[in-house]
Structure 1
Amino acid sequence: MPTVCDATAAHVGSGPRQVDVPPEVFAPHRVAAVRATGLLDTAPEDGFDDLARLAVVVGGGQRAFITLVDDHRSFWKSAVGPGGPAADCIRQNAVPDCPCQILVATDRPLIVDDALAPESPIRRLKAVDALGIGAWVGFPIHGPGGEVLGGLSVIDERPHTWTADEVQGLATLSRSVSTEIGLRQALSQATARVRTLQDSLLPPGLPAVPGIEAAAAYLPAGGADVLGDFYDLFRLRGEHWAAVLGDVCGKGVEAATVTALARYTLRAEAARSLSPAAVLKRLHLALLDRQDSEEQRFLTAIHATFRPTATGLAGRLCTAGHPPALIRRADGRTQEVGVAGTLLGAIADVRLTEARFRLNAGDTLLMYTDGIIEAHSHTPGRGPRGPLFGERRLHEVLAACHGLDAQATIDRVAAATLAHTGGPAGDDTALLALRVPPRAATVTPTPLS
């Protein structure tokens, strides 16, 4: 039996079309639906390959294909069986050469017991010789809107009378392929909406603080839920500035609502008071005012106010159920700043204590949410339940950021986290860094990661 790569090579530059392609193939809405799957020109995936392998077993053939048909080529998302495609093989052929064009035109199964019989609708197609097709059976696969995207097909190298059980089983598998594609599209669209909503809850950029470098990053978790980490940096009256990070309990629209409430309450209250503890207390009361009997809305936060000085900056901060800030001194020493306080919105009485801090030339203040220190590594056989990144590792990474500006420090910490988890973590993370440059310099706004 010829290999799939042999068939691909045979179709490249293979002369004029042997058949007229049905007009349904070129329907703009159908072609758009195929491209909207995001599967064209993507690598093989276990989920689709498993369905194709099952099709070989159910259909009693030698090879199975999951094919997406656009307006000029048939792309094999999966091709399994003897002589399947090598990693470097172009997994496609031209539409005029592929039997799946008939599935697109008719939106019905096509059952061919003998590909070379005079009455065979595919005998003139080049794929018959190139792939060694003796018999072929195919079923349309559909997008969420009902468009025919392509087909699930099984081939036998010899004539084959496809039984009713084989046909019924393959029809069921084709619906499973359609469902898989629809679920992937729904997840992709939901994830895009989540990212748009999440971005709307973060500042579009950081302002320039005179004499200070500032940088921030948001590292999304895997999945399609809005999570609750946020940050902000804004000017107060006179020479004073405010920086805040928070982590809302929960996910989805409810988390987004609480995040929006927190951001705008913090900005409003910080304009009235330079005391971080007083501002967080006002946010706590605002959360309690919105509580209902069914669900609590609470969060952790760290809030700092500061002002540039002749030697760097001076400030005070308050933590509410939140990890302390870290300071990296110019000589590489690290220290924690912040007294553990009560998370906001959970109980009526909260304990909030302020801590003062100073940064001199070369010093960096890092504020972060617990998605960093609670990130698990991916362990073979256990998934994302390996060792935690942890506070000690964070201290070590920060201490190693010698000579790095605020943005490079954020990038280094983010990279270390991703290297530890091996990909998106189970929780989102926000980071914000303030740094006093070693020498006097003009500081410009830092683009966000």
Structure 2
Amino acid sequence: MAKKTRPLAGELPRAVFDPARLAAVADSGLLDSAPESTFDDLAQLALAVTGGQKAFFTVADGRRSFWKSAVGVDLAAGRENDIRDSPCHLLIGTGEELVAENAVTDPRIKDLAAVDALGVGAWAGYPVVSPDGHVLGGLCVVDKDARPFTAVQREALRTLARSVSSEIALRQALGLARASAEASAALARTLQDSLLPPRLPETPGLDVAAMHRPATATGMAGAEVVGDFYDLFRTRGTSWCAVMGDVCGKGIAAAKVTALARYTVRAEATQRTRPAGVLYRLHEALAEQQVSERFLTAALAVFRPDADGITGRYASAGHPPALIRRADGTVEELHADGIVLSPEIPASRDHHGETHFRLSPGDALLLYTDGITEARDDNRGPLFGDDRLATALAATRGAAAADTLERLWRAASDHSGGHAVDDTALMMVRVTPGA
């Protein structure tokens, strides 16, 4: 086999040597630093999502690609390679993701020494950026065999790379603004937003909407990252998964559990059709990743649209019951027994039951966190509660999903005088009338 040649320094992208980029790399403080569980966990999730064998989070200066995180690799020989040998310089040059489904034939990377050295059959890399937009390096996954990466896997890797960038941004901003509560709060909100999908996907025949509202209690509004999260995504064929969760506690530790939960559900729901099975695997993941003692509740609905509505299964892990608003305004609770998810509780397939449900045109499914039912005024008056929520939902008969959520939030806010001690997340899936 012909020896693979390295590009000359002059052939590397000019962006590699951009002084502003190199300064951003230095400011990150990541070069020559020890491995950290925060980045290792995200690399592990990248493998879980794709089924690859190796995953890296790399930071590159002008001469080397340093492996801040390397999973599935023997590190006895070191934690870096020459910048000319690694596809990382291509991410820096374009600022865009690079997916090579057959590394030995892809003209962009086939001549790089790392292809042979790491046994690369397929490679997927996504840029990791500094707060001011400079590409610091990349999050990448390696498979020993040539293979495709699905749209779901690519989106998950894209989200994980954004999470790495958000973690870096959070660290730098906290280091520069420890005395500024306002700056810390704004950054925490940025991280919170990174754990939620930027927008829900288009769902033919369905009207979907979601919202997240921060706590407003004194000293809490935006001050800490909280654990509310939601997601809606296609799993396989025409099936969809909707999830709502709430991690106990606040701060970075809660955010790590939130990220683990969201990405694990995305990975497992594409492999399993039963929501109870997805919750079981999430329970196992909490123990496998050795997260803190924090626990979480979650509600999961897996459904398939058909000509007359949707049919699905619903499972819960200690989460408030979902509500169904029928087309005539009747409200029903959707129950499924299940315990909260905690690394302190051994995972069991018997811990989570399932309930079947059917939505016809005009019917809607509401998932929510307890921030809305626990809304109360600052004099500790009565909670908004389950009954008021059901009554408010019934009063939205016929309303579109987004309008319904706004009206529910307004009803809870009016009850509490605009005071909220906890964040609130709401998501609705409505079958379009006449669909």
Superposition TM-score tier, normalisation by shorter sequence: 0.5 to 0.7
Give the whole-Å Cα distance in 2 for the aligned partners of 1:325 and 1:358. 13
**Is residue 327 of structure 1 aligned with residue 321 of structure 2?**
no
* Number of the residue aligned with 2:412: 417
Instruction: Mark the structure with the bigger radius of gyration.
Output: 1
Is the CA contact 1:317–1:356 (under 8 Å) kept in the aligned structure 2?
Answer: yes
Q: 2:190 aligns with which of 192, 196, 212?
A: 196
Describe the SS at the equivalent of 1:228.
strand
Question: Residue type of the partner of 2:252?
Answer: V
Is the CA contact 2:214–2:424 (under 8 Å) kept in the aligned structure 1?
Answer: yes
Is the CA contact 1:220–1:424 (under 8 Å) kept in the aligned structure 2?
Answer: no
Q: 1:399 aligns with which of 386, 394, 400?
A: 394
**Is residue 428 of structure 1 aligned with residue 420 of structure 2?**
no
Judge which range, 332-341 or 210-219, deviates more.
332-341
| Shift in Å, 1:186 | 2.0
Structure 1's unaligned 5+ residue stretches are: 1-182, 441-449
Residue pairs, 1:35-434, within 5 angstroms: 186-222=180-216, 223=220, 224-291=223-290, 295-345=292-342, 346-350=344-348, 351-378=351-378, 382=379, 385-434=380-429
Give the whole-Å Cα distance in 1 for the aligned partners of 2:377 and 2:314. 31
Give the whole-Å Cα distance in 1 for the aligned partners of 2:345 and 2:424. 25
Give the whole-Å Cα distance in 1 for the aligned partners of 2:179 and 2:416. 26
Identity %: 56
Give the whole-Å Cα distance in 2 for the aligned partners of 1:187 and 1:306. 43
Give the whole-Å Cα distance in 1 for the aligned partners of 2:286 and 2:347. 13
Is the CA contact 1:322–1:340 (under 8 Å) kept in the aligned structure 2?
Answer: no
Is the CA contact 2:284–2:347 (under 8 Å) kept in the aligned structure 1?
Answer: no
| Shift in Å, 1:371 | 0.9
Is the CA contact 2:337–2:354 (under 8 Å) kept in the aligned structure 1?
Answer: no
| Shift in Å, 1:349 | 4.2
Deviations along 1:230-256, one digit per CA (max 9) or x if unpaired, are 000000111100000000011000011
Give the whole-Å Cα distance in 1 for the aligned partners of 2:226 and 2:421. 11
Deviations along 1:122-145, one digit per CA (max 9) or x if unpaired, are xxxxxxxxxxxxxxxxxxxxxxxx
**Runs of at least 4 residues of structure 1 off by over 3 A?**
none
Is the CA contact 1:207–1:234 (under 8 Å) kept in the aligned structure 2?
Answer: yes
Q: CA RMSD in A?
A: 1.7
Give the whole-Å Cα distance in 1 for the aligned partners of 2:181 and 2:396. 37
| Shift in Å, 1:189 | 1.2
Give the whole-Å Cα distance in 2 for the aligned partners of 1:241 and 1:289. 26
Question: Residue type of the partner of 1:209?
Answer: T
Describe the SS at the equivalent of 2:249.
coil
| Shift in Å, 1:417 | 1.5
Deviations along 1:192-239, one digit per CA (max 9) or x if unpaired, are 111101000000000011101100001111320111000000001111
Is the CA contact 2:178–2:184 (under 8 Å) kept in the aligned structure 1?
Answer: no
Is the CA contact 2:226–2:255 (under 8 Å) kept in the aligned structure 1?
Answer: yes
| Shift in Å, 1:361 | 1.1
Give the whole-Å Cα distance in 1 for the aligned partners of 2:413 and 2:366. 18
Is the CA contact 2:265–2:282 (under 8 Å) kept in the aligned structure 1?
Answer: yes
Is the CA contact 2:377–2:418 (under 8 Å) kept in the aligned structure 1?
Answer: no
Structure 2's unaligned 5+ residue stretches are: 1-176
| Shift in Å, 1:280 | 0.5
Give the whole-Å Cα distance in 2 for the aligned partners of 1:240 and 1:258. 26
Give the whole-Å Cα distance in 2 for the aligned partners of 1:185 and 1:344. 36
Is the CA contact 1:377–1:389 (under 8 Å) kept in the aligned structure 2?
Answer: no
Question: Residue type of the partner of 1:278?
Answer: G
**TM-score w.r.t. length of structure 1:** 0.54
Is the CA contact 1:327–1:337 (under 8 Å) kept in the aligned structure 2?
Answer: yes
Deviations along 1:100-133, one digit per CA (max 9) or x if unpaired, are xxxxxxxxxxxxxxxxxxxxxxxxxxxxxxxxxx
Is the CA contact 1:324–1:340 (under 8 Å) kept in the aligned structure 2?
Answer: no
| Shift in Å, 1:338 | 2.2
* Number of the residue aligned with 2:35: none
Give the whole-Å Cα distance in 2 for the aligned partners of 1:321 and 1:286. 17
How many residue pairs match? The answer is 251
Give the whole-Å Cα distance in 1 for the aligned partners of 2:318 and 2:368. 13
Deviations along 1:389-445, one digit per CA (max 9) or x if unpaired, are 0000000000000220111111111111211222241111111101012223xxxxx
